[in-house]
Amino acid sequence: MGPWLLLLFIVGDILGTGIYALTGQVAKEVGGVVWLPFLVAFAVALLTAFSYLELVTKYPQAAGAALYTHKAFGIHFVTFIVAFAVMCSGITSASTASRAFAANFSSAFGLGLDGGIGVTLVALLFMAVVAIVNFRGVGESVKANVVLTLVELTGLLIIIGIGMWALGYGEGDLSRAFQFNPNAEKGVFWSVVTGTTLAFFAMVGFEDSVNMAEECRDPSRIFPRVLLAGLAITGAIYVLVSISAIALVPPEQLGEGETPLLKVVSAGAPGFPLWVFGIITMFAVANSALINMLMASRLVYGMSRERVLPAALGHVHAGRRTPYVAILFTTLLAFGLITFVGGVKDLGSTTALLLLCVFTVVNVAVLGLRKDRVPHAHFRTPTALPILGALACAFLAGPWTGRDPVQYAIAGILVAIGVVLWIVTVAVNRATGQALSTAELEHSHLGGPVN
């Protein structure tokens, strides 16, 4: 895998549900400067990306945060919690994508589904289809990722193009992009912080690229410049999309509903077939859902095979050779999230919350692993960056950001399920004389979610 395919893989992992679904929610927090929280989220992601660059070039193995945590701390339970949190973030990300898919499906084809039960039913049906595809054993290839990345990118370039075209003809209001209308209860600083916690969901996905390290030619050399280039490209696209959106649709209108970019297309190019953009959006979020559910089910399967989750979750279908019990388990969790949580905002923010906690651990792990020497040359990030990254991620994960308590409840319940399963597994292992595997956990495909 050369640098260009790796770049497309990274860009494709970052692009997706976040920018398509949460732009309006960010606008509700800060008003016209909707681009600012995306820019701050980009800066925080960049700090963590430097930590990942040191670790992936130092340990070019496909195991991600769980591998780095295990090497840094050597505590099996901590490694498990990080791995399970990554799995949970994949499920919440896929649930967010399912909800966004349903909302765009309804709007694009004028179905007028009720924002509650109607969209929820479509989202559940969509997740069931994802489970069927997952069961059939469809894996993500780099070529397929390239195609879907181009579809996602096309949709965002359409938004930017419509914005430029409309503004060029004197339509829209570019000055809105510089009008700060913070939440009256929170003030300027905390409104930006809350907006950043939402926008951060749009920046996740870059960390999943470390799982391609073993597929790359000379990863220690090409990874740093390619990952940083991918983040810069997506960051620039997000800022331009945000400016185009707010210039054409006032923030109070952009924040209504779950299809903000469809409103931008309708306002800036009334003659553009809305259903075409709706299909592009559905492709973008469908890709996110499938990739995340594939990752989550395989991660559960892997942890089961390593005896850190119940053995039943590791059963493989005799005909399809897919981990059908793990697929059922992760799908049922997604069904619960879609049914009882539902909203794109809370689901997406829970994904960001889980990953902010994981990123805090990864940033600390970089410093702890400085004493570990490897025989090959690797990237080394300036010491100040992982310190700033750990502090920034921990800060954004805290309750002082204005984060809805329901997001902590969702994350807590999901992780608690994992802890209970882990305790049961440990008890069974001790009763049967089986030791927990740590070496295998290091080499599992423990990736992260894409948005």
Which of 228, 198, 451 lies closest to 346 in space, CA to CA? 198
The reported pLDDT for the residue numbered 389 is 96
Distances in Å between the Cα of 132 and the Cα atoms of 128, 137, 290, 331 are 6, 9, 10, 10
The reported pLDDT for the residue numbered 316 is 87
> How far apart are alpha carbons 228 and 223 in whole angstroms?
8
The reported pLDDT for the residue numbered 342 is 65
The reported pLDDT for the residue numbered 223 is 83
pLDDT tens track of the chain, all 451 residues? 678 878 887 887 788 778 888 888 899 889 899 999 999 999 999 999 999 999 988 887 656 788 888 888 888 888 889 888 988 998 999 899 898 888 888 887 777 665 578 888 999 999 999 888 888 765 544 556 677 778 888 999 999 999 999 998 888 899 999 988 877 677 888 999 999 999 998 888 887 777 666 666 777 778 888 899 999 999 999 999 999 999 999 998 988 877 888 899 999 988 888 888 888 888 888 878 887 888 788 888 877 877 778 888 888 888 877 889 999 999 999 999 999 886 778 888 999 999 999 999 999 999 999 988 888 878 899 999 999 999 999 999 999 988 889 999 999 999 999 899 889 888 888 887 765 554 454 444 455 555 6
Token duo for residue 122: 């479509």
Which of 12, 129, 82, 109 lies closest to 415 in space, CA to CA? 82
- Amino acid type, 10: I
The partner residues of 180 in beta bridges, in order of sequence, read: 31
CB 257 within 8 A of CB 276: no
- Amino acid type, 303: M
The partner residues of 31 in beta bridges, in order of sequence, read: 180
Q: Which fold has domain 3-442?
A: Amino acid/polyamine transporter I (1.20.1740)
Distances in Å between the Cα of 67 and the Cα atoms of 366, 435, 444 are 12, 19, 8
pTM of the model: 0.86
The reported pLDDT for the residue numbered 313 is 87
Which of 149, 132, 280, 127 lies closest to 209 in space, CA to CA? 149
> How far apart are alpha carbons 47 and 39 in whole angstroms?
13
Distances in Å between the Cα of 417 and the Cα atoms of 36, 102, 386, 410 are 36, 27, 30, 11
The H or E element that residue 348 is part of is: helix 344-368
The reported pLDDT for the residue numbered 140 is 45
> How far apart are alpha carbons 236 and 426 in whole angstroms?
47
The reported pLDDT for the residue numbered 413 is 94
Domain ranges of the chain: 3-442
301: Cβ–Cβ under 8 A, 6 or more apart, which residues?
Answer: 313, 314, 316, 323, 326
> How far apart are alpha carbons 260 and 249 in whole angstroms?
9
The reported pLDDT for the residue numbered 165 is 92
Distances in Å between the Cα of 201 and the Cα atoms of 13, 20, 405 are 12, 11, 17
The reported pLDDT for the residue numbered 141 is 47
